[in-house]
Structure 1
Amino acid sequence: MENSSPSISVIVSTYNSEEWLEKVLWGFHQQSYPDFEVVIADDGSGPRTKDLIRSMQNTFFYEIQHVWQEDDGFQKSKILNKALKACRAEYILMTDGDCIPRKDFVEVHYLNRAAGHFISGGYFMLPMNISQLITKEDIEEQNCFNIKWLETHGIAKKFKRTKLTAKGHVSKFLNSWTPTTASWNGHNSSGWKKDILRVNGFDERMQYGGQDRELGERLVNSGIKSIQLRYSAICVHLDHKRGYKTEVSIQKNKYIRKQVKKTRSSWTDYGLTKK
């Protein structure tokens, strides 16, 4: 393994979801752009996740770093900050351990990166039956991004599936036409490490509910602009339960985001460095 730093560090968050994580890691093994590392931000998983990573580490062409912390409830912001510190690249791509990347996922982020900007990508949500059905071979053959294959397993004909079918000028038009704000999304966003460090990373007071968007809002307040690529940078989102979702955390996060908007703050005192 060469010691030179990769062009991109891909942070993949996970928690006790070995079946989904394995599929995601196979997705990164199909990437058309190869100069990246994967940094797994593990929010307290048991030994099965560590065993999975160890068993597969030599299978993939890319290097894997496993950054782990003790289980203390939903503390994704904390583990993402730890993963950020471990990243060796100047450019960071963030996604989740339940999102299989399309084979051009890293390449699209790499080719569209721009100084003073972050990228907001898109996802296509899959139901549980298809999430479980997807095999290594389906990922290698990109069946899980093939609308005809998905239709045979019950995907409805809705506009949202355009994310999987749009190409070239069509995807560029849809990126510019969509009314959806180009926010920082934990499942599919990228930006420069120096920009993220400048706003002090994630606010570690925040648990589930918009902590990723809050980072993006501070980036915007610091002068960073967003690029909308929800029809170009694509992953499929595997279904799962969200037992960590609580009304308390959602309301607390809404209050923090409201204060960030009100004060136009670009800094948090509860991020990578503390007061």
Structure 2
Amino acid sequence: MKVSVIITTYNSEEWLKKVLLGYSVQTEENFEVVVADDGSTEATKNIIKEFQSKFKFPIVHVWQADDGFQKCKILNKAILKTNSEYLIFTDGDCIPRKDFVFQHLKHKEKGYFLSGGYFKLPMTTSHLISMDEIINQKTFLTNWLIKNGVKKSFKLSKLTQNRWFAAFMNWLTPTKKTFNGHNTSCFKEDLIAINGFNEEMQYGGLDRELGERLFNYGILGKQIRYSAICLHLDHKRGYATTETWQKNYAIRTYNKKHNIIKIKKGLSQYL
């Protein structure tokens, strides 16, 4: 298969159902879905079973027992369960537009990772999105979003379907080309070379840290935030603390200063 889509989740069945539906209507069908599950209950497993028949390839469910926020650990395990050489990373609260997988494959290039973004929705709009509106893609239309609680702003231009405008905005945007866990892709061999995600880190910049080590390894970023589009459903972030942010920032600062490429506590533990 051409690519593996790794989707992280934790006890968020309503959102995961909407996200999986978004992947079931992709224009590109030659991909697998790998759900990186950081300790959800049986309810998530049942959602995955419900969607098994909607994809060309079986959904791979990688689960670990709930031990607090351990996203790096479940991502490392999920990477090693993929069956392709190119990986897309996203979250279980990000609904992809129907060309999302196609766009990542179109722009992939050796020596690069792809840096995408998202359009963040308010909670009211997140709940209003129905299954039919994902299937017919109405939820990606600016008029529909404005009618359903989204304020008018220039940020809505992220939802453009004009490829020339998207390419121009990818070039123009001042946003840095960072490794974003909600919308990014890269070659699996590059992740193995840097030993994957750093399990010393909890919530707060863990994706950026991996991208910074890819830079140190010689892999550059390519901007696709206006080409590969996903809608970010709102949710609470009870796992975010000042202490973890400070710890993670210190790790990133050290790794930048010392040009660290390969961390000790990474995916090699599961090889």
Partner of 2:242: 247
Distance 2:143 2:243 in 1: 41
> What amino acid is aligned across from residue 35 of structure 1 in structure 2?
N
Q: Which moved more, 1:74-83 or 1:127-136?
A: 127-136
Partner of 2:38: 43
How do residues 123-142 of structure 1 correspond to structure 2 at under 5 angstroms? 123-142=118-137
Partner of 2:171: 176
Partner of 1:86: 81
How do residues 76-115 of structure 1 correspond to structure 2 at under 5 angstroms? 76-115=71-110
RMSD over aligned Cα atoms: 0.9
Check conservation: 2:31, 2:56, Cα contact below 8 A. no
2:229 to 228, 231, 234: 234
> What amino acid is aligned across from residue 154 of structure 2 in structure 1?
F
2:145 to 138, 143, 150: 150
2:260 to 232, 256, 265: 265
Distance 1:128 1:251 in 2: 28
3-state SS of 2:229 partner:
strand
Check conservation: 2:29, 2:55, Cα contact below 8 A. no
Distance 2:37 2:239 in 1: 15
The structural deviation recorded for 1:59 is 3.3
3-state SS of 1:86 partner:
coil
Partner of 1:67: 62
Percentage identity across aligned positions? 54
Check conservation: 1:29, 1:62, Cα contact below 8 A. no
The structural deviation recorded for 1:60 is 3.4
Partner of 1:211: 206
Distance 1:218 1:244 in 2: 24
3-state SS of 2:227 partner:
strand
3-state SS of 1:31 partner:
coil
Distance 2:51 2:260 in 1: 42
Distance 2:216 2:239 in 1: 29
Aligned pair count?
269
The structural deviation recorded for 1:51 is 1.4
Distance 2:63 2:236 in 1: 22
List structure 1 runs of 4+ shifted beyond 2 angstroms. 59-63
> What amino acid is aligned across from residue 42 of structure 1 in structure 2?
D
| Deviations 1:176-233 (CA, angstroms, capped at 9, x unpaired) | 1111101000000000000011000000010000001100000010000110011111
Check conservation: 2:34, 2:62, Cα contact below 8 A. yes
Partner of 2:157: 162
The structural deviation recorded for 1:166 is 5.2
3-state SS of 2:152 partner:
coil
Distance 1:136 1:166 in 2: 21
Q: Structure 1, unaligned stretches of length 5 or more?
A: 1-5
2:182 to 187, 194, 197: 187
Distance 1:154 1:142 in 2: 17
Partner of 1:22: 17
| Deviations 1:60-111 (CA, angstroms, capped at 9, x unpaired) | 3442000000000000000000000000000000000000000000000001
Distance 1:154 1:132 in 2: 11
1:55 aligns with 2:46: no
Check conservation: 2:202, 2:248, Cα contact below 8 A. yes
Check conservation: 1:11, 1:41, Cα contact below 8 A. yes
Q: Structure 2, unaligned stretches of length 5 or more?
A: none
Partner of 1:3: none
Check conservation: 1:29, 1:61, Cα contact below 8 A. no
Distance 2:59 2:219 in 1: 29
Distance 2:239 2:16 in 1: 18
User: TM-score, length-normalised on structure 1?
Assistant: 0.96
Check conservation: 2:128, 2:148, Cα contact below 8 A. no
